Chain A
């Protein structure tokens, strides 16, 4: 399970009086600084699979997702979406792993600074599942980052006693992409399980 950071960087406003004096150096450093910075906070995705009846129930939790950057983005009133790409895959020894099923779970939040409410929405594969108006930030965070027993895949396609794994990749939009190299990397989590029938 990898541990990386997603979300927005901290935006700092400050004194720029020395900016022109060291112009080229500052610009070069700025170009580097505009690259996605590696934050100390380690974000992880905890994935828990559960085969129940004819479904594979997927639970996952994105930890430390509400960084200051994400909170700032949410409280700026823009719609921030957490996108989770969930893949059910089977390992292959001599070839690339086989993908059994894929699903995209999104959770969006739009904060109204006037009403101080969080309008959160969950969707699966583009289909809106639920929408709520929440007053608490913590509730909104849980709503956006914690998912319990989502029936994303059918187990009928699985082979008994075979080993599979669930991989969840997460990122937020809009990205706090930077100049020069805007292509960021996602956070990924993985959980193996043996399908028993």
Chain B
């Protein structure tokens, strides 16, 4: 039943239900509380690691500065083959790292903005501002610094310095060349001057005297004489040497030995120079000592002279300068690489720091927003782990406290909701039970609002009053304005006078239903709230028609029994007296005798009729209970119809028996009597023997049929005729005792028929046949 029909029960709880439903939708199932886990802190949140990173960064920057500072002193190969490559690779790596950091965070920001995450716009702006504040100055510094490096390296090489160094180098080289030539010249001259025989013979004095003089005169600083070895003419051995006291120490004799061997071997490379530990170098030149006659070498003279270290310093200075110029590009590259790397390191660090700060600023707010969303979604066990002890940390603590209190409130609310739900279910069950009872009972119930409108109406009331559910909400006065329901207005009259809705008490009200009378036991009860205010009324109807009928039948049975007793007793003496009169006047004159015969015959005949009438009444009064046994309905009907074979030739009696009828528990004799009664009535309605054709030309016909209604579990016996039919006004009285439309009928036939059918647990209905006639339908349970 829709809740609309019984709002007095459901309506009271509807608000409760709505609260319950709302609470269900708003309060999802509680989630298991997630414990606050101590997550591993990332690098950025570890102050020690951050400090270590900063220290390493500073160390790297200092190391690079030192490296750049000393790059001019580095080996050119190392500079151009290792250092520049390494720095360039490091720069590229750093650049890739920077691009990666930027791209990653830009993509993250874009994704966050597209997802519409909270604070994504704020974070994007913050990040962009920090990147701008970092990158723009860094790039500008890089550009300006690179230009400064380039111009500074170019300023290393000025034209005057270049000319001075070049000239100095030229002078030094010329002087060196001159000294080299002079020493070679002295060596040749000494070789020619030395006595070859003395050298060959190994006489020291002349040789020593000569070379000592050369040294003493300062032409050369050192003269070393070698003579051909006696064992091998292709080797030389030291013979004698003379050295100036001013000649620095530290020169190696092996150098002179090697030169002597070279000169003896005939090599053109007769000049050499030997660096000295104390600075400067020794310029050496060798010459063969030839025998004047044979031109055969007998020895070698190696003359050496000291050259000041200033020349070498000039040379070194010039070479460093020119090397610096040659290596300008790699050096510039190193400086730029170092500078670029420092810029990139600062950029990466600043970018990362900027992103980190942006995250540090927005992260707590985001976490709070996420927490608020979780709380809003009903996840009251959600907590935010405080990461800091600052104001954000206090805010997080306050949030967690609020969430805890909300969770406690929600638990209380949940308990209340569960209790309310349980009570609501109980009430709902009770309401359903009452609804079911009201719908199943045969008593009609109508509830009225205080304004007199129909609030609810159950099925029995709808059926009894032949209403539909459209009456719900209509004023009861309007509903009862219908002609056949006007008798019910008596239930409402007192209400208007008393103002109490209706007057309590029962009424027996008869309503006309298609020519029949429907007897209702009706009562109206006003409803009041606890505070005494009227809450409407309830009208209750009970169909008491069967009860009334039973009461009438019982009365008629009593009447019949009394009538049979009171009438039948004097009939026998009357009959006997009439027969004595006939016998007494048997010898009387014919006229008198005929008169007496006629009168006595009439008396006896009427007495017989009265006896038969009284017997029938007695039988109605003393009808025994049926002795039902499983019987073949069709067989019973066949046997009954056999009694009519050949009796009514003008009436066609048809059999339309259903096949496969199950056995039905019947009292065969009583059912046969029922069928005979119905057939007799039909034959009489059609005109009996010599029945004329029907007005439509069809022959008078009686159809006896059977059917099985498996749905309702009944067997039907139908007796239909095409006679004139029964007026609707007489149908209700048909089954009443002593009601007959026949001239000589006792009026008990159909009353007995209905009683037999009723005592078999069945029912009998009379309806019109089509186009004319009457149909009696008997239903007995299978």
Contacts and interface: CB of A to CB of B under 8 A. Distances in A.
A179 B328 contact: no
A36 to B, nearest CB: 9
Most buried by B among A26, A28, A115: A115
A78 B326 contact: yes
B154 A30 contact: no
Interface string B317-340: 011001101111110110011000
A20 B333 contact: no
A77 B323 contact: yes
Interface in A157-194: 173-183
Contacts of B76: 78, 174
A156 interface: no
Interface residues of A, number: 40
B98 interface: no
A11 B88 contact: no
A177 B329 contact: yes
A34 B88 contact: no
Interface string B152-191: 0011011100100000010011001100100000000000
Contact of B85 (A27, A133, A182): A182
B157 A176 contact: no
Contacts of A34: 329, 332-333, 336
Contacts of A14: 154
Interface in A31-77: 31, 34, 69, 72-73, 75-77
Contact of A174 (B79, B311, B336): B79
Nearest to A75: B322
Nearest to B318: A113
Contacts of B80: 173-177, 182
B173 A116 contact: yes
A69 B330 CA distance: 13
A19 interface: yes
B164 to A, nearest CB: 14
B77 interface: yes
A73 B81 contact: no
Interface residues of B, number: 46
Contacts of B673: none
Contacts of A76: 319, 322-323, 325-326
A126 to B, nearest CB: 15
Interface stretch (B143-151, B238-246, B440-448, B688-696): B143-151
B84 interface: yes
Contacts of B176: 114-115
A112 B336 CA distance: 31
B478 interface: no
A106 to B, nearest CB: 12
Interface string A16-27: 100110011011
Contacts of A19: 147, 150-151
A13 B158 contact: yes
Interface in B81-139: 81, 84-85, 88
Contact of A9 (B172, B173, B312, B329): B329
B333 A178 contact: yes
A153 interface: no
Given A78-B326, A177-B333, A182-B88, A114 B146 contact: no
B81 A175 contact: yes
Nearest to A173: B77
A112 B322 CA distance: 13
A183 B312 CA distance: 35
A16 to B, nearest CB: 5
Interface string B58-77: 00000000000000000011
B151 A20 contact: yes
A19 to B, nearest CB: 5
Contacts of B143: 23-24, 27-28
A47 B312 CA distance: 41
Contact of A8 (B273, B326, B337): B326
B140 to A, nearest CB: 8
B277 interface: no
A115 B284 CA distance: 12
Contact of B326 (A20, A24, A176): A176
A178 B333 CA distance: 6
A26 B150 CA distance: 10
Most buried by A among B88, B311, B312: B88
A107 to B, nearest CB: 15
A30 B36 CA distance: 58
A73 B146 contact: no
Contacts of A78: 76, 319, 323, 326-327
A179 B315 contact: no
B325 A11 contact: yes
B530 interface: no
Contacts of A24: 143, 147
Given A173-B80, A180-B88, A182-B80, A11 B326 contact: yes
Given A11-B328, A174-B80, 16 more contacts: A11-B325, A26-B150, A27-B146, A27-B150, A30-B150, A77-B319, A78-B76, A78-B326, A113-B169, A114-B176, A115-B180, A175-B330, A178-B330, A182-B80, A182-B333, A183-B88
Interface of A: 8-9, 11, 13-14, 16, 19-20, 23-24, 26-28, 30-31, 34, 69, 72-73, 75-78, 112-116, 133, 173-183
Interface of B: 76-77, 79-81, 84-85, 88, 143-144, 146-147, 150-151, 154-155, 157-159, 162, 169, 172-173, 176-177, 180, 269, 273, 311-312, 314-315, 318-319, 322-323, 325-330, 332-333, 336-337
- The 3 lowest CB-CB distance pairs between A and B, nearest first, are A77-B319, A179-B333, A76-B322
